[in-house]
Chains A and B, each alone.
Chain A
Amino acid sequence: MADTKAKKEKIPRHAMPEQDPDIRKRNFLEVPTGYTVEAAMQEAGRCLQCKKPSCVEGCPVQVDIPGFIALIREGDFNGAVRNLWTKNSLPAVCGRVCPQEIQCEGKCIVGKKDDPVAIGNLERFAADYARMNPTGELPPKQKSTGKKVAVVGSGPSGLTVAGDLIVKGHEVTVMEAFHKPGGVLVYGIPEFRLPKEIVFSEVAFLEKLGVKVECNAVVGRTVSLDELFEEGYDAVYIGVGAGLPRFMNIPGENLIGILSANEYLTRANLMKAYLFPEVDTPIPRGKNVVVLGAGNVAMDSARTAMRLGADSVKIVYRRSRDEMPARKAEIHHAEEEGIEMMLLTNPTKYIGNENGRLTGMECLKMELGEPDASGRRRPVPIEGSEFNIDTDLVIVAVGSGANPLLTQTTKDMQLNDWGYIIADPETGKTTKRGVWAGGDIVTGAATVILAMGAGRKAADSIHQYLSWGW
């Protein structure tokens, strides 16, 4: 691929090789298997190297996309990952879980007439290459400032803040409530979409840079926010996510066999319950599984249930296909694996047996009416359309709210009506001096990359504060 001028004969976008659906739906190995060196270099050759790259505008952390792709095209894969690291401390993660189709790839000029350059796949390739062929090279660090920063939460936004501030010479400690770092990347996103080993290696990389990671530290319980300042921290970043599960609030919700997606995925991912009884944490293995909701978390739950041996898995969603919030690629993957979509259907109550175990669910059929406040057509129940579904496991994936554990114990920090922290969208500054916040605890449940974008802005602002003041 040295001769890039040959790209006049159009090279089609390299499809990402994937495990066959019939095989993968019963294992937890990663679904996409990654580009070969040849495929990556060829795909990189499709990039037009625009002078004013729109793709970069589409990226919440402004990765130098043409720059890293040019390096892949030249075969300088370590150079490519070095370039990525300047803007993105988690490229192996973002290459896998970013919604590229509405960000960089959605803006790609090649995509106007053809399929866009596979920016996400290339990012993943460069990061994986660097992980599997380590040079031991670390990004340059500025000399120590003597300032201490506490980062509360080790999810994508916290890790971004930690990575940005450690190279600027500050001392950074990340505090995680769980026994393993990574936040939603570890407890939420399944192994088959994001192998945990990748997250741990990204964290290990930050530790090599000097970041301290303290697990089992529940800020708000083990230590309060104010005590962190008493302990000598100069600034605190809060990136604790939106960890409060929403339920349907319909009759029968506490029957055995109804779990929040948070619980189901935490058991499967963080606790590795799919290996039970080799590990000690059990997970319910449903025969006829229903997942309520149609976002990415719902798709992750449904595909996990299938891998745990379900006979049937249904997504039950009250709106239509057009309104499903999950990425198209995730819906496609789920359907390939045999997940059924039961749309315009709304559960009204759960049905249980005499032992308090779930046996079924009553639903109503819906139709679309006039647009609602969100601009989406409002689902309206069709009278008399009640029907029952047999199910022994329901996973509730209808979103999450703000977990009050930390915010309740922090007096002088303002929250909005829904309990999320009020933070300046440009800087991440909260109303409490010396405290920043970002990610889902500010915006409500969103994406990994938006949380990282918020972390980036907050890190810049924290650096400014530590250098010049509030």
Chain B
Amino acid sequence: MFKIVKREEMAEGTVVLNEIEAPLIAKKAKPGQFVILKANETGERIPLTMADTDPDKGTITIIYMVVGKSTALFKTLETGDEYQDVIGPLGKPTHMEKVGKVVCVGGGTGIAVLHPITRGLKQAGNQVTSIIGARSKDLLIMEDAMKAASHELHVCTDDGSYGRKGFVTNVLKEILDREKIDLVVGIGPVPMMKFVSAMTKEYGVKTIVSLNPIMVDGTGMCGGCRVTIGGETKFACVDGPEFDGHQVDYDELMNRLQAYCEDEKECYDSFCTMNA
């Protein structure tokens, strides 16, 4: 059992942070890696990239958006409650080295995953500019943490309720027009990563994205997380989760994420009715 030692709600309760006791994972995990969590006996195995780890305290932090039954169930867990199973660290860590000027682009809960990578890239000696975005001010998370992890931070909201009005790609374009960038890291909703990658490809700037397809075991056994990278099938769980953003078939990924949407809706609706 894996106890929640800290719980915080963000973005008007649509996003939840859990710091969880998992000493073995905390000792091993590196930025970019993920865990699989299962809340209880009948629960689903849900992969989530870690937002932080504290090897001394023996804890890991996850930040998730409530989007369906399983995350709604996660949300019912209070401080002191336990996840039945947490498995990890899984996937390959982010490759961190000094490359020069880096732009980190994050959207939604992708910002949580981007944060330790941003911090690591800054520590590695890079000049880091970050751009984070959300639909509106209330849904924006981790502004302060991202500010601390970067040399420069830009904030955008789709509706203009905070920061710049518009998409993260607008700011990214200005930066790419202005100076030579050596690496872009984009983590967020699939359409955001798709547009970021399309833009950086025009500018010939290497881009890393982190994918989160549907998976079961997370160890390369089921092949449910197949993604097409440069025309080749890869397993996101063991070959990723990070890939060259210019090689990803995003449309296929978006389709595959919809595989169980009707089942999920049924499950979520009945859960919400039960807990109404």
Contact B73 A280 (CB under 8 A): yes
Q: How far is the CA of A280 from the CA of B266 in the complex (A)?
A: 10
Picked from B28, B70, B85, B233, the residue with its CB within 8 Å of the CB of A216 is B85
A247-293 residues at the B interface, CB under 8 angstroms: 247, 253-254, 256-257, 259-260, 262-263, 266-267, 271-272, 276-282, 284
Q: In this assembly, does B170 line the interface, its C-beta being within 8 Å of a C-beta of chain A?
A: no
Measured as residues with beta carbon below 8 angstroms from the partner, the interface class of chain A is 35 or more
What B residues does A357 contact at CB under 8 A?
A: 255
Q: How far is the CA of A221 from the CA of B50 in the complex (A)?
A: 15
Contact B226 A254 (CB under 8 A): yes
Report the tally of A-B residue pairs with Cβ distances under 8 A.
118
Contact A245 B42 (CB under 8 A): no
Point out residues on A near B: beta carbons under 8 Å. 177-179, 215-218, 221-223, 243-245, 247, 253-254, 256-257, 259-260, 262-263, 266-267, 271-272, 276-282, 284, 355-357, 403-405
Known: A215-B85, A245-B222. A267 touches B216 (CB 8 A): yes
Closest to B221 in A: A243
Point out residues on B near A: beta carbons under 8 Å. 24-25, 28, 38, 42-45, 69-70, 73, 84-90, 216-217, 219-224, 226-228, 233, 238, 251-252, 255-256, 258-260, 263-264, 266-267, 270
Q: How far is the CA of A277 from the CA of B89 in the complex (A)?
A: 29
What B residues does A222 contact at CB under 8 A?
A: 24-25, 28, 87-89
Picked from A244, A271, A272, the residue with its CB within 8 Å of the CB of B221 is A244
CB distance from B28 to the nearest CB of A (A): 6
What B residues does A218 contact at CB under 8 A?
A: 87-88, 90, 219
Q: How far is the CA of A271 from the CA of B41 in the complex (A)?
A: 9
Picked from B28, B228, B266, the residue with its CB within 8 Å of the CB of A254 is B228
Contact B44 A254 (CB under 8 A): no
Q: How far is the CA of A52 from the CA of B252 in the complex (A)?
A: 62
What B residues does A356 contact at CB under 8 A?
A: 251-252, 255-256, 258
Contact B267 A247 (CB under 8 A): no
Contact B266 A245 (CB under 8 A): no
CB distance from A341 to the nearest CB of B (A): 25
Known: A247-B223, A256-B259, A260-B223. A280 touches B89 (CB 8 A): no
Contact B256 A256 (CB under 8 A): yes
Contact A262 B260 (CB under 8 A): no
Closest to B251 in A: A356
Picked from B45, B88, B259, the residue with its CB within 8 Å of the CB of A281 is B45
Known: A279-B42, A356-B256. A177 touches B267 (CB 8 A): no
Q: How far is the CA of A166 from the CA of B125 in the complex (A)?
A: 52
Known: A179-B87, A221-B88, A223-B24. A280 touches B267 (CB 8 A): yes
CB distance from B153 to the nearest CB of A (A): 33
Picked from A266, A279, A280, the residue with its CB within 8 Å of the CB of B222 is A266
Contact B258 A403 (CB under 8 A): no
Contact A254 B252 (CB under 8 A): yes
What B residues does A282 contact at CB under 8 A?
A: 260, 263-264, 267
Q: How far is the CA of A254 from the CA of B250 in the complex (A)?
A: 12
What A residues does B88 contact at CB under 8 A?
A: 218, 221-222
CB distance from B216 to the nearest CB of A (A): 5
Picked from B42, B84, B216, B263, the residue with its CB within 8 Å of the CB of A266 is B216
Contact B256 A244 (CB under 8 A): no
Contact B221 A254 (CB under 8 A): no
Q: How far is the CA of A247 from the CA of B220 in the complex (A)?
A: 13
Closest to B238 in A: A405
Closest to B40 in A: A280
Contact B43 A243 (CB under 8 A): no
What A residues does B233 contact at CB under 8 A?
A: 247, 253-254
Contact A177 B38 (CB under 8 A): no
